[in-house]
Structure 1
Amino acid sequence: MSNPARYFYPAVFTYAPDQEIAVVFPDLDVATSGVDESDALLSARELLGITMFGLEQDGAPIPAPSRVSDIPLEANERAVLVDVYMPSVRLASANRAVSRTVTLPAWLNAQAMERGFNFSQVLQEALKEKLQA
């Protein structure tokens, strides 16, 4: 069975004076925070994506999300339904680094090392320029 394109999970936003907004996903036992509501929501969405991707990669069971109305709350808490679009998360993981062996003339290698060039960075920049990416 394929994994869904989008997940929806409730998160509890906890507000306290002079503190970041704490965000907890009760169904997933993970937490984050944000300096304001926008930042907290973005952090929550990012955490949800990372968490769900990890579960998918591990082949772990995906817990069923609770209903927002079933989440017990304190006076300084709000339940928020957070969603994440997984194709973007999955694609981002494909941008991992890969190792390549490069052969250079000895004189070129020596000059580059003497000047402290980062070979990976120079190669990436040159490839992006050639590919116009």
Structure 2
Amino acid sequence: MIMNYVFPAIVEYNALSGRYIVIFPDLPDLICQGETPEDAFHQAELSLEIYLYRMEKDKKQVPEASDPANWQKREDAVVIVLEADMLEVRRALDKKSVSKCIMIPKWLKDLGEENGVDFVRILKEGLMDELGIPD
């Protein structure tokens, strides 16, 4: 599972709408906009994260980012590069807990219960440590 994606995008000012439009040539279905360049950048970042999250959930292949030097764009357009931290996106959007059946020896379960062990916390922390995921 990929933890970070990096995609370039094109930001153009649209005189008709008075807004800044962001397009992702590598992700043709993804277009967003903002009132200012900063707003457009922020909207693009959020849109990219949600778009990639949906692609992962739908088990669609995320394309490789292409070289923006080869893109055709308007003279006043600007290329920006956005990073999607998918670990943070998954943490924010996949908050539900799921049940996982595990098998441990009865004597270990009994001893753990006698000592007030939080089995769920230990499993979660152990998995995160094993996968190198910070708290």
TM range (shorter): 0.5 to 0.7
Deviation at 1:68, TM superposition (A): 2.1
Which residue is equivalent to 2:48? 48
Which residue is equivalent to 1:60? 60
Deviation at 1:4, TM superposition (A): 1.7
Question: Residues 49 and 84 of structure 1 are in contact (CA less than 8 Å); yes or no, is this contact kept in structure 2?
Answer: yes
Deviation at 1:95, TM superposition (A): 3.2
Looking at structure 2, the residues matched to 21 and 85 of structure 1 have their Cα atoms a distance apart, in angstroms, of 24
More divergent stretch after superposition (9-18 vs 48-57): 9-18
* Regions of 4+ moved over 3 Å: none
The aligned runs of 1:1-133 (5 Å cut-off) are 3-17=1-15, 19-29=18-28, 30-95=30-95
- Give the match's secondary structure for 1:15: strand
How does the TM-score come out when normalised to structure 2?
Answer: 0.64
Deviations 1:66-114 (A, max 9, x none): 1122221111211111111111111111236xxxxxxxxxxxxxxxxxx
Deviations 1:43-62 (A, max 9, x none): 11111101111111111111
Question: Residues 4 and 86 of structure 1 are in contact (CA less than 8 Å); yes or no, is this contact kept in structure 2?
Answer: yes
Structure 1, unaligned stretches of length 5 or more?
A: 97-133
- Give the match's secondary structure for 2:11: strand
Looking at structure 1, the residues matched to 14 and 63 of structure 2 have their Cα atoms a distance apart, in angstroms, of 29
RMSD: 1.7
Deviations 1:20-62 (A, max 9, x none): 1000111111100011111111111111101111111111111
Question: Residues 68 and 80 of structure 1 are in contact (CA less than 8 Å); yes or no, is this contact kept in structure 2?
Answer: no
Counterpart AA for 1:21: Y
Looking at structure 1, the residues matched to 80 and 53 of structure 2 have their Cα atoms a distance apart, in angstroms, of 21
Looking at structure 2, the residues matched to 70 and 33 of structure 1 have their Cα atoms a distance apart, in angstroms, of 23
* Percent identity of paired positions between Structure 1 and Structure 2: 24
How does the TM-score come out when normalised to structure 1?
Answer: 0.65
